[in-house]
Amino acid sequence: MGIIAFAVVLFLLVQAKFILISLAIAIILFSLTSDAINSIQSMKIGNLRVTNWVASVLAVALIASGLLTMAGLVISQINTVLTTTLAYTEDAQRAIARMFAWMGEDVEASVLATVRSIEVSGYLRSAAGQAGTLLSQVVLIILFVGFLFAERVWFGTKLEKLMSDEAQARRVSAIIGSIIRRVNRYLLVKTLISAVTGGLIFALLSVFNLQFALAMALLTFVLNFIPSVGSIIATLVVTLVAYIQVAEPSTAILIFVIAGMIQFLLGNVIDPMLMGRTLRLSSFGIIISLAFWGAVWGVPGMFLAVPFMVAVMIVCSHIPTARPVAVLLSREGLPEEEFPLPQSADTDTAEDDGYAKAVGAE
């Protein structure tokens, strides 16, 4: 029965991925801005206090404008790349073949023939189709965010009614708050690091007067949200684009070294310092999560793999029967508990005090 249930859930995840991806992104955006909404509601303009619906409308408007601006920027860069890619197709094929020249002329000719057999136009049409899908998905995300803000006022009441127990509702609320805090910090740090990395890549390519500087900066910004492999892919793509344009191995190698140093410094030195003990996730678990969600939802699933893994680890760490899963997903095998697990009915009073402190600390 477990295998059948897993297969059914997997089938539904694949079939409904467009809606589910939009919903997951909407929930993340909602959680990122919910604290800001609470701060806006506490503000006063003279004798007037900002009401909940006004703060919610402002938040939805800001999220919508930000998403539409980002989507427009991405689509414009995709169109720029697509319109100029065909002009570089022949140069790109020869540049890739020259990378294998040291293995002999036969190998170089074989690689060139293989590269030329690739249908570039088919990939370009697919990319153009993805760009069109992006705009419709952004609109759906905005709708989801709007409805989430409309429901946020009654969430606590609904949770109490659903649990039929005030203490249990506080426990669930505390777990949700823990997930939101960790995911929010992870996303904020990642956004900052990715933005700085993308800006430096833009400056690097601009110094060498190369085309696609903005497109490569945007690609680097996006790929840096994929743990472990994203920065490697971004560095290789930037190097390949530079090599195709300059056709000089020494310049391409210099760009590769500088881009690699930028990624290493920001990703392996600055990022862990800012992230601190926020995640405490197993590196192997992150790779498995990337592989699973990448297979189910493609590239968007890889972006959402870490937030999903954080949520699963925190939830499992507070369920005694599922705690071994949390141990496997944690870095040191010791998933951090932000409040105690319930043991028995005799200890409910003491536990409720602990949960009240945890909720108050939030």
The CA distance from 362 to 179, in Å, is 12
pTM strictly above 0.85: no
The CA distance from 349 to 355, in Å, is 10
The CA distance from 314 to 323, in Å, is 9
The CA distance from 310 to 334, in Å, is 14
Q: Could you list the pLDDT tens digit for every one of the 362 residues in the chain?
A: 889 988 998 899 888 888 999 999 988 888 888 766 766 666 666 667 767 777 778 888 888 888 888 888 877 777 776 666 666 666 676 777 777 777 777 777 787 777 777 666 566 666 666 666 778 888 899 999 888 888 877 777 777 778 777 788 788 888 888 888 888 888 888 889 999 999 999 999 999 888 888 888 988 998 888 887 888 989 988 888 888 887 677 888 899 999 999 999 888 788 877 776 666 778 888 888 888 998 898 888 888 888 888 888 888 888 888 888 888 888 766 655 544 444 444 444 444 444 444 444 44
**SS3 (DSSP) at 192:** helix
Res 314: pLDDT: 83
Res 276: pLDDT: 62
Contact predicate 246/208, CB 8 Å: yes
**SS3 (DSSP) at 1:** coil
The CA distance from 151 to 161, in Å, is 15
The CA distance from 18 to 13, in Å, is 9
Res 246: pLDDT: 79
Taking CA 239 as the corner, what is the angle to CA 234 and CA 241, rounded to the nearest 5 degrees?
95
Token code pair at residue 45: 């303009």
**SS3 (DSSP) at 281:** strand
The CA distance from 274 to 189, in Å, is 7
The CA distance from 125 to 311, in Å, is 37
In whole angstroms, how far apart are CA 137 and each of 8, 145, 189? 25, 12, 25
Query: Which one, of 102, 109, 25, lies nearest residue 307 by Cα?
Result: 25
Res 203: pLDDT: 93
DSSP string, 14-61: HHTHHHHHHHHHHHHHHHHHHHHHHHHHT-EETTEE--HHHHHHHHHH
Amino acid at 190: K
Amino acid at 119: E
Query: Which one, of 268, 109, 272, lies nearest residue 186 by Cα?
Result: 272
The CA distance from 271 to 306, in Å, is 15
